[in-house]
Amino acid sequence: MRIVRFDEGRVGLLEGGEVCDVSEAFPGHGESWPEVHFIRAIGRWEETLPRLESARSSGARKPLEDCRLLPPVLNPSKIVAAPVNYIAHREEMLVDYTVENAGFFLKSPTSIVGPEDAIRLPFSDRRQDPEVELAAIIGRKAYKVRAEDALAHVFAYTIAIDVTVRGKEDRPYRKSFDTFTPIGPCLLTPDELGDPQNLQLRLSVNGELRQDAHTSDMVCGVAELIERASWAFPLLPGDVLMTGTPEGVSRIYPGDRIEVEIDKIGGFSMPVEEAG
């Protein structure tokens, strides 16, 4: 199942180049801030699914190219990110640690934007990099779960870009500027994605391939990341778990265009602008 948010906060299923509007299965869709109906529905998926199937049979359909895709998840309680989870990335960053001994950091949920938005760079004199990552969206509360049980807590997967300002400040500051967490284009449910450790991920800038790696190269796989993170704090429905980026990070500038893709999930392309 490929779930999207589109246009004015509607919810749809992406099927064969069309979006089937199933918003009626998500009570409260289109509500004013804070928009939490979608996360609420994720947390009550057993109740949501019958409504979704009913809405699917009668929902209006619209060509994907006529839809404006929004962030597939909005207003999570937290974005949990894994630093240095690929060995080759550790080597290029010249650090002597990985997520195994560095732990996690949190990004501000207000940094989330959709696949058709722009990354806006706040500095003209500092290096700022985009980092492609597989992201897991939590479906039910995970607290002190074991790795062997962890993937049962994942609702879906998506693509995330972790935009980073290089510098000496703590990561939550350097990675939480507005527009610094693009996600999309859809949420792909685990039954269609399969093994999260068997995916190729790529990032290009202006058509030049910069990152090209495989999720099997992670130091800690998705299940182990959930185990480690949930040992420290509960992961709640809608939370975004970013799983780290591979080697190939490099600077971007206003006027650039970034393209990302991950096997099975798809991809998206977005411009880079100077923050106003």
Domain ranges of the chain: 2-66, 79-274
| 28-49 mean pLDDT | 85
Residue 30 pLDDT > 70 = no
Straight-line distance from the first to the last Cα atom of the chain, in angstroms, rounded to the nearest whole number: 38
> Each residue of 108-159: pLDDT tens digit?
999 999 999 999 999 999 999 999 999 999 999 999 999 999 999 999 999 9
Number of helices (H), then strands (E), in the chain: 8, 18
> Each residue of 220-258: pLDDT tens digit?
999 999 999 999 999 999 999 999 999 999 999 999 999
Q: Is pLDDT larger for residue 63 or for residue 90? A: 63
> Each residue of 183-226: pLDDT tens digit?
999 999 999 999 999 999 999 999 999 999 999 999 999 999 99
For residues 124 and 94, the answer to whether their CB atoms sit within 8 Å is no
pTM: 0.96
Q: How confident is the model at residue 31, as a pLDDT?
A: 67
List, in sequence order, every residue forming a beta bridge with 205; answer none if it has no partner: 208, 258
Structure tokens at 76: 């999570």
Q: Does domain 79-274 have CATH number 3.90.850.10?
A: yes
CA distance 193 to 216: 14
Q: How confident is the model at residue 175, as a pLDDT?
A: 98
| 42-48 mean pLDDT | 94
Mean pLDDT for all residues in the chain: 95
CA dihedral sign, ordered 104, 105, 109, 115:
negative
